[in-house]
Structure 1
Amino acid sequence: MRRSSLVKTKLSASAAAVALVIATAGPAYGGDEPAPGEAQLHQFAKLPAQTFVPGSEPSGSRLGTAPINGITPPFANQPVQGFSGVLRNADGSFEMLSDNGYGNKANSADFILRIQRVKPNFHTGAVDVVGGINLTDPNNHVPFPLTRPDRVLSGFDFDPESIVRLPDGTYWIGDEFGPFLLHFDCAGRLLSPPVSLPGVFSPENPFRGTTPANLGGSKGFESIAISPDRRTLYPLLEGVVAGDPAGSLRLNEFSVQSGAYTGRTWRYQLENPAYAVADAVMVNQRQILVIERDNNQGDAALFKKIYLADLRDRDGNGAMDKTEVADLLNLANPRGVGGFGDPFRFPFFTIESLLILDNRTLLIANDNNFPLSAGRTPGKPDDNEMIAVRLGTTLDVDHRVLH
């Protein structure tokens, strides 16, 4: 069998594998289904904050030596943290994209960019790290100097925040520093030069020269959605481009076949200009789920919601139509899943991984910003939490999205 056919076969089995994990990991859906318009915590698992890649290189040397939430840097190994994107695998595991490391370009030069592979056990509530790949540029596609001479990519080079996978097993990853789109093979090797978004420059963009930045720092591609036919990418900016209306974010269209932007754009309007988007995934050819959040954590967190947005703009106001499908700070939890009360709160500063498991169930994970975020318990670094959320709304899911 050709490799492309083999990959396609493996991916087509993934939805069934994940569905089996979800179906067998807890009580069956029954009379405690969420009401229309509401959402319910169905399953919970977590990876401890202090989880490191065995035998990896030291990290965190630019964080200083003062304790942060009780954790003292630097670290002997690379932390498994910063989950900013998720993909399903055929065996029931998930690939999680780690972001640039410790929150900015200056302090993340010794953080190696990586796709982690994890497997949650919703019976026990544990998450196992079962593998992963580093992101590299062995063929010199990046035209500006990299941090490392071995061309292993670091958090100083790029800030990867979103990921999709094509049927051939390659990945497209969205970066915030450019913002760029980056195309990697299945082993994490960059396949072509970074693709810039025409006319948009963040302060960290190495190509802008004297051109003024027109996008805020680290406000690039926090999200990428992919069409059900896998032919089109929809990268969504986290920040507003200078000159655009307040709170109006550009959703861009990118052709996989041509490797270029088509020029088509849509507008996603935030509920508050101070909010941000955190991840997005296509439901079908015209609808997209979006996580929208405030910039607070713990008890101060007031807004963490998931919206169903429609590209058709049927009300003609110039922005995608939006319907709320889940309030992550008010999830029903009648069964006490995870040992939490009712309602359950997902009170993290950044909630950046979203995946559709079936037409009423979503997988969601936080970016724990290790060791900086402490949204679950003040003074204690957040774990990487993974939750399955059952919706009261039935989504019109294209079956290809589940493969």
Structure 2
Amino acid sequence: MKRILTIIGAAAVTFGPAQPATAAPPADTFGRATLTGFAVLPAETFVPGSEPSGSAIGAGPFNGISAPFAGQPVQGFSGVVRRSDGTFDVLSDNGYGNKANSADFLLRVHHIRPDVSTGSVTVLGGFNLSDPERHIRFPLTRQDRVLTGADFDVESIVRASDGTYWIGDEFGPFLLHFSADGELLGAPIPLPGVKAPENPDLGGETPNLGSSKGFEGMARSVDGKRLYPLLEGTVAGDEPGTLRMYEFDVHKSAYTKRRWIYPLESPSNAIGDAITVDRHRFLVIERDNEQGDAAKFKRVYLADTRDRDHDGKLDKTLVADLLDLANPKKIGGFGTTFRFPFQTIEDIALLDDQTLAILNDNNFPFSSGRTAGKPDANEFITVRLARPLHADRRAIS
């Protein structure tokens, strides 16, 4: 599907001091979470001076929008990095949903500033992803080696302490390491024993992962030494509705032998993103594949590797139901119950020990979860949990 994050400083949108790291709360639901902020980037937002895009999706119209487009749409947010100045880096995915229709969509990281006081999101700039040093062995779409949605389906991102970025891809699946300005620093790193149908090295092998079901989420350890990429799809032979989360040693540039299982509430669900809370715990977005009134399951879970019930899977605690957020102040002009009813919700960041930032992937121009017949905007919300996470301070500061 179209569609994490390392925390590197305090955001300008703040909600009180971080709580001290203490014992984790008991494994039950947190209670009802509350909407505290709302901002919107309009659906028809394009990179200034950019190349045309969308030539392979058909003429449409799609939710009232005709194609192709005169520029590159700022859309498909599938991963987010919180910066220290209240701004965020957001990663656009492969473009229009698959390899065949996204060759003219340039893979890009956008730099945005959401302002919940005005309800607006400003695009400050960004950079395209490229491979000028020719680390990629297989043929690319463009001779200038700017990467497109036909080359990779990038879905998850973390920022290292040196300012470089690690990005998870779904086509391989691969891990990709980029410089601070988007140049690939080494060859794509494959996942041993797992290949999707789009994998360029598949040859005559039978893929054992669904199409575009690779690394949908990826967290970074609080000490920065490990990455934790999480697949979106179940590997062939695994129990239906279970997803593998791996550990990757950044210094050795290799996977360790450690692996965990995230259990979906339904085999038809998918994950959207994952971030680190502390040494053992992660926040994971889990969702159904519906939108609008048909959407029934859009949740954030706290997943714990310690497996206290000894079932061989991550323990899960519900922390926020994104279809049932309290909204007593009627923020955004909505009623006292706020719904985030998008097909794909793929971005989560930790602002303080009790507050999350969450963004949708609007799948422009195809999704219409907010208003039927109209393309979804890129929405940025802040959500106050009913109680603190007791997160490691390094996950917040």
Q: Does 1:255 align with 2:237?
A: no
Residue 359 of structure 1, aligned match among 314, 337, 353: 353
Deviation at 1:21, TM superposition (A): 2.4
Cα contact 1:160–1:176 (8 A) shared by 2: yes
Residue 374 of structure 1, aligned match among 359, 368, 371: 368
State the match for 2:209 in structure 1: 215
State the match for 1:293 in structure 2: 287
Q: Name stretches of at least 5 consecutive residues in structure 2 with no aligned partner.
A: 1-6, 17-28
Once residues 104 and 30 of structure 2 are traced to their aligned partners in structure 1, the CA distance between those partners, rounded to angstroms, is: 47
Give CA deviations for 1:133-188 in whole Å, capped at 9, x if unaligned.
10000000011000000000000000000000110000000000000000000010
Once residues 292 and 184 of structure 1 are traced to their aligned partners in structure 2, the CA distance between those partners, rounded to angstroms, is: 27
Cα 1:36–1:262 change in 2 (3 A) is closer
Once residues 61 and 292 of structure 1 are traced to their aligned partners in structure 2, the CA distance between those partners, rounded to angstroms, is: 32
Q: Does 1:139 align with 2:133?
A: yes
Deviation at 1:36, TM superposition (A): 4.7
Once residues 338 and 194 of structure 1 are traced to their aligned partners in structure 2, the CA distance between those partners, rounded to angstroms, is: 42
Once residues 319 and 67 of structure 1 are traced to their aligned partners in structure 2, the CA distance between those partners, rounded to angstroms, is: 44
State the match for 1:236 in structure 2: 230
Once residues 341 and 170 of structure 1 are traced to their aligned partners in structure 2, the CA distance between those partners, rounded to angstroms, is: 41
Once residues 53 and 278 of structure 1 are traced to their aligned partners in structure 2, the CA distance between those partners, rounded to angstroms, is: 25
Q: Determine helix, strand or coil for the equivalent of 2:141.
A: coil
Q: Does 1:317 align with 2:302?
A: no
State the match for 1:102 in structure 2: 96
State the match for 1:337 in structure 2: 331
Q: Does 1:22 align with 2:14?
A: yes
Q: Across the two proteins, how many residue pairs are aligned to each other?
A: 379
* Poorly superposed stretches of 4+, deviation over 6 Å: none
Deviation at 1:66, TM superposition (A): 2.0
Cα contact 1:81–1:370 (8 A) shared by 2: yes
Q: Does 1:401 align with 2:384?
A: no
Once residues 352 and 23 of structure 1 are traced to their aligned partners in structure 2, the CA distance between those partners, rounded to angstroms, is: 23
Once residues 147 and 38 of structure 2 are traced to their aligned partners in structure 1, the CA distance between those partners, rounded to angstroms, is: 32
Once residues 236 and 208 of structure 1 are traced to their aligned partners in structure 2, the CA distance between those partners, rounded to angstroms, is: 21
Cα contact 2:353–2:396 (8 A) shared by 1: no
Once residues 213 and 301 of structure 1 are traced to their aligned partners in structure 2, the CA distance between those partners, rounded to angstroms, is: 30
Once residues 63 and 71 of structure 1 are traced to their aligned partners in structure 2, the CA distance between those partners, rounded to angstroms, is: 12
Q: Determine helix, strand or coil for the equivalent of 2:394.
A: helix
Once residues 66 and 308 of structure 1 are traced to their aligned partners in structure 2, the CA distance between those partners, rounded to angstroms, is: 40
Residue 75 of structure 2, aligned match among 81, 92, 96: 81
Once residues 314 and 387 of structure 2 are traced to their aligned partners in structure 1, the CA distance between those partners, rounded to angstroms, is: 19
Q: Does 1:45 align with 2:39?
A: yes
Deviation at 1:123, TM superposition (A): 1.1
Cα 1:366–1:167 change in 2 (3 A) is same
Once residues 355 and 66 of structure 1 are traced to their aligned partners in structure 2, the CA distance between those partners, rounded to angstroms, is: 34
Once residues 22 and 358 of structure 1 are traced to their aligned partners in structure 2, the CA distance between those partners, rounded to angstroms, is: 7
1:105 counterpart letter in structure 2:
K
State the match for 1:4 in structure 2: none
State the match for 1:127 in structure 2: 121
Once residues 293 and 36 of structure 1 are traced to their aligned partners in structure 2, the CA distance between those partners, rounded to angstroms, is: 18
Once residues 342 and 105 of structure 1 are traced to their aligned partners in structure 2, the CA distance between those partners, rounded to angstroms, is: 41
Residue 192 of structure 2, aligned match among 195, 198, 201: 198
Deviation at 1:23, TM superposition (A): 4.4
Deviation at 1:38, TM superposition (A): 1.4
State the match for 1:274 in structure 2: 268
Deviation at 1:91, TM superposition (A): 2.0
Once residues 14 and 56 of structure 2 are traced to their aligned partners in structure 1, the CA distance between those partners, rounded to angstroms, is: 40
State the match for 2:64 in structure 1: 70
Once residues 220 and 33 of structure 2 are traced to their aligned partners in structure 1, the CA distance between those partners, rounded to angstroms, is: 25
1:340 counterpart letter in structure 2:
F
Deviation at 1:306, TM superposition (A): 0.5
Q: Determine helix, strand or coil for the equivalent of 1:198.
A: coil
Residue 347 of structure 1, aligned match among 338, 341, 352: 341
Once residues 276 and 36 of structure 1 are traced to their aligned partners in structure 2, the CA distance between those partners, rounded to angstroms, is: 22
Tell me the percent identity.
62
Deviation at 1:396, TM superposition (A): 1.8
State the match for 1:246 in structure 2: 240
Give CA deviations for 1:247-278 in whole Å, capped at 9, x if unaligned.
01000010000001012110000000110111
1:22 counterpart letter in structure 2:
T
Cα contact 1:38–1:393 (8 A) shared by 2: no
State the match for 1:118 in structure 2: 112
Residue 391 of structure 1, aligned match among 385, 390, 395: 385
Cα contact 2:15–2:352 (8 A) shared by 1: no
State the match for 2:22 in structure 1: none
Superposition RMSD in Å: 1.2
The structure with higher relative contact order (CA 8 Å, sep 6+) is 2
Once residues 307 and 346 of structure 2 are traced to their aligned partners in structure 1, the CA distance between those partners, rounded to angstroms, is: 25
Q: Determine helix, strand or coil for the equivalent of 1:218.
A: coil
Give CA deviations for 1:321-361 in whole Å, capped at 9, x if unaligned.
00000000000001001111121000000000000001100
Once residues 141 and 378 of structure 1 are traced to their aligned partners in structure 2, the CA distance between those partners, rounded to angstroms, is: 44
Deviation at 1:92, TM superposition (A): 1.2
Residue 55 of structure 2, aligned match among 61, 64, 67: 61
Give CA deviations for 1:270-294 in whole Å, capped at 9, x if unaligned.
0001101110001000001100000
Q: Determine helix, strand or coil for the equivalent of 1:400.
A: helix
Deviation at 1:90, TM superposition (A): 2.2
Q: Does 1:156 align with 2:150?
A: yes
Q: Name stretches of at least 5 consecutive residues in structure 1 with no aligned partner.
A: 1-10, 25-34
